[in-house]
Amino acid sequence: MDKAYTHGLQRLLDFCNRLDRDRIPKTLMHTAHDTVMVSFATVGSRIEVYFSPDDTHYSVFRGHEDVEDDFEALERMIVEFRAD
């Protein structure tokens, strides 16, 4: 087995185990042929961490956590997303 592959998988497992120890819920998604994304949220942020055999990088999305009830606005956002 390729050493880089093993190390990439170990980084992913170590990170998931750390989130588990801290009781932080996460979602894993296979986003490319060689990449797994771990997504989790903290107060005020959503974080996506990307693991591949050779690299690990992340994105942070910050925003408000207001509860919305304007379903017409929600529908418009879905339509706009679908159109992209």
**65, 44 Cβ separation under 8 angstroms:** yes
- Average model confidence (pLDDT) for the chain? 89
Could you give the C-alpha distances from 79 to 15, 21, 83, in angstroms and in order?
35, 39, 6
All residues at 6 or more sequence positions from 63 whose CB lies less than 8 Å from its CB, including other chains:
44
User: What's the pLDDT at 69?
Assistant: 92
Q: Name the pLDDT band for 3 (thresholds 50, 70, 90).
A: low
Q: Is residue 29's pLDDT more than 80?
A: yes
Higher pLDDT, 62 or 2: 62
